[in-house]
Structures are given as C-alpha cells and as structure tokens.
Amino acid sequence: MYSEADLQAAVSAGALSHAAAEAFRAHAAGMRAAPVADEEHFRLITGFNDIFVTIAAVLLLVACAGIGHAIAPGVAGVLVAGAAWGLAEFFTRQRRMALPSIVLLLAFVGGVAAVPINYLAETEPQLAERTAAVIAAGVGLLAAGAAWLHWRRFMVPITVAAGAAAVAATVIALVLSIAMDGQPNQRPEPILLPLVFVCGLAVFAFAMRWDMSDPNRETRRSDVAFWLHLLAAPMIAHPLFHWLGITEGENIGAASALGVLAIYVMMGVVALAVDRRALLVSALAYVLLALTWLLREFGMVELNIALTGLVIGSALLALSAFWTPIRTALVQRLPGEVQARLPQGAMVLA
C-alpha cells in the first residue's frame, strides 16, 4: 500500500510526474467516493517495523537517561538528545520511518529542555515563583531552538508543532513572571488560562497559514498543519470549558452543560470549514461529561453513561459518514475568497 508521503517522494525524485500522481489520487478518491483533501491523511506507521524500531529506540533512550542521571545532573538530557539525533540520522533522514521519527524528535527536544531542568532541580531545589517562571521561559526558548535545528535537518512535520508549543510556553512563562512580580501569593490560574487560550488561537492561525498554502493537501505542509491543529485544539477547548465550570465535575449547572453543547456545535462548524477534526476530538471529554450530567438530571441515572455514549457516538459516526456533503453545503455559503483558501475537497462535489 502506498501512502501520500510515498507519492510526494516519488514526484520529488522524478520517478512519477505530477500529472500521474494527480491522476492516481483522483482514481483512489473516486474509489473511496471521497475527495482526497477530505481524507485528512497523515503518516504514522508504514508497517510493524515502525513499532519494532520505536520500542527499541525507547529502550535505548531510557537507558541513556538512566546512565546520565547516575553520572551528574543534566547529563541524562545530553545523552538522550545526542542519542535521539544520532538515531534520527539513520531512521529519519535515510529510512524515513514515521513513528520512530516522531518519537526521536520528541526525545531530542525533551532531552535538550531536560538539561537545565534536571541540573537546577538537583542544585537549586528552592526557587522563587518569579525566578522559576523566568527559567521556564528560558527552557521554552531553548526547546524552540532545538526544534528549529531539528526541522532544518530532518523536516519531520510534528517538529513545527513542538516548536510552537515551546514558543507558547515561553510567552506564557514570561507573562506570568511579570504578573507575579511583587505578588508571591497570587494564584496563576486567572492569568494562565487566558494566556493559554490566546496562544491556542495564535497556534490555530499559524496552522491555517500552513493549510492555506496547500489547499489540495498534497505536500508536507498539510502534515505540519495537522499537528499544529492537534496542538491548538486543547489549548482553545480547555480554557473555554473551564470558564463554563465543566472542570469542577459535580458542580455542573444546566446553563453550563447547554453552553458546552453550544460551543461544541460551533467547534464542529469550524472543524467542517477548515476540514480538521482535531477540535471535535479535543472537546469530546467535556461534551461527554456535560451530556451525562444532563441525562442524569432528567432521571436517567442508571443509563446516563450508556445513553451519552450512544448519542455522541452516533452523532460523530453520522458526521464522519456524511462529512463531505455537509462540508460542501457549509463551504458553498462562505465568501468566494474564503472558499479559495480552504481545502478543496468539498468544492469538488459542488
């Protein structure tokens, strides 16, 4: 079975013309009765060897961390980052294995970030809140730099999302350090959640920039956008549902539960328009909690969880089955300039 990444590599290498690749995509999409763009492809594994290599790499990286921890503070991160980069030279740059590449990227960035964290944890266990926030900002900036270096060398799609997460963490930590200056007893939540929400919107806008540069989803840019959307979704969803009181568990009110459902519907509209399902998945836990509460309030105590699963599961399956025609109807009502920048799958059936 040939993946979208294999087609892209064949076109880049000159083994397949762009026209031939387009014809193959159209043929495959016709057989599945769905446009290529609506399939939202991303490469995770190509075979069991990906899993085999990933398990072996994780064992090696854990061993490096253990050995480094026994040597001196901070050495564990250095060994993990070095081992991850060395393994990536073969399994990412030469073999192009998807799952190991993702794990090695996360290990490299995490290893670089762990060096100062581990060193300070061993040498300076007690730090003021403002000092800790400034150090966290520095660590985030260091992780962002590591992600940039990794992207320049290996261009693994998830790397951009890792760098965006590091930049967001840096911004949040810097703002918190300024806000907490002279106020050591101030709780960070009132400031933290709005910051996370704003950063989530910024990451979503960044993801849309990558998406709009490849509306037909034929290149690596689409994969980069996928991971950015996956990062932005929980950053947007969690603050919204926290402000509605859903994270309080048993203290959910009827207005909050209905608000959750209304927000989820709006997220569904956005997900349909941009043809990305990450928003729906990230908010699913909150919707399940809210609907379970509503059913319990209507007296369905014994079956509330089962009925919740039935309602939400059926709705999502129906949305998946009719995603393309629903999206077509929605996109056709948007301005022409907006339509031109969105993924083209739904317009194929127009």
* Amino acid letter, residue 263: I
**pLDDT, position 87:** 95
Q: How many residues does the chain have?
A: 350
The 10 Å CB-count burial string (b at 16+, else e) for 111-139 is bbbbbbbbbbeeeeeeeebbebbbbbbeb
- Are the C-beta atoms of 137 and 145 separated by less than 8 Å? no
Distance in angstroms (rounded) separating the CA atoms of residues 156 and 139: 22
Backbone angles phi, psi at 54, to 5 degrees: -60, -45
Mean pLDDT by 10 residues, the chain (350 residues): 63 70 64 52 75 95 94 93 96 90 95 91 74 85 95 94 94 85 66 92 94 82 90 89 71 72 87 86 80 68 70 86 87 82 58
Distance in angstroms (rounded) separating the CA atoms of residues 214 and 6: 17
Alpha-carbon dihedral angle through residues 292, 296, 298, 303, given to the nearest 10 degrees: 80
Distance in angstroms (rounded) separating the CA atoms of residues 125 and 127: 6
- Are the C-beta atoms of 289 and 245 separated by less than 8 Å? no
**pLDDT, position 276:** 87
Work out the number of other CB atoms within 10 angstroms of the CB of residue 182: 7
DSSP string for residues in 108-171: HHHHHHHHHHHHHHHH-----HHHHHHHHHHHHHHHHHHHHHHHHHH--THHHHHHHHHHHHHH
Joined together, the tokens standing for residue 222 give 């689409």
- Are the C-beta atoms of 103 and 87 separated by less than 8 Å? no
Query: What does R_g of the chain's alpha carbons equal in angstroms?
Result: 23
With a CB cutoff of 8 Å and minimum separation 6, the contacts of 117 are 77, 139
**pLDDT, position 25:** 67
Joined together, the tokens standing for residue 48 give 């069991």
DSSP secondary-structure letter at 97? Answer: -
pTM equals 0.81
DSSP secondary-structure letter at 215? Answer: T
**pLDDT, position 350:** 40
Distance in angstroms (rounded) separating the CA atoms of residues 333 and 186: 47
From residue 148, alpha-carbon distances to 59, 109, 120, 142, 154 in Å are 26, 10, 24, 10, 10
